[in-house]
Amino acid sequence: MPNPKRRHSHSRTRTRRAHDALSAPQFYLDKDSGEAKMPHRIDLKTGTYKGRKIIDVKETE
């Protein structure tokens, strides 16, 4: 199995790791309910997406 012949410098290692940072999840506030929601997802409670009815939601009681 091949192994590195020389060690990598701190600069080279840190340059590679510059892209590894985690980003905060994006969300928006719903106009109707004021609830924080993830973009580009169907609302499973109401079955709507961009104000249009996409799926029928069964009411659980």
**Whether 47 contacts 38, CB under 8 Å:** no
- Sequence spans of domains, the chain: 27-61
pLDDT in tens, 5-61: 999 999 999 999 999 999 999 999 988 778 899 999 998 888 888 889 999 988 766
Rg (CA), the chain: 23
Report how far residue 50's alpha carbon sits from residue 39's, in angstroms, rounded to the nearest whole number: 10
Structural tokens at position 7 = 């060690």
The C-alpha atoms of residue 24 and residue 36 are separated, in whole angstroms, by 14
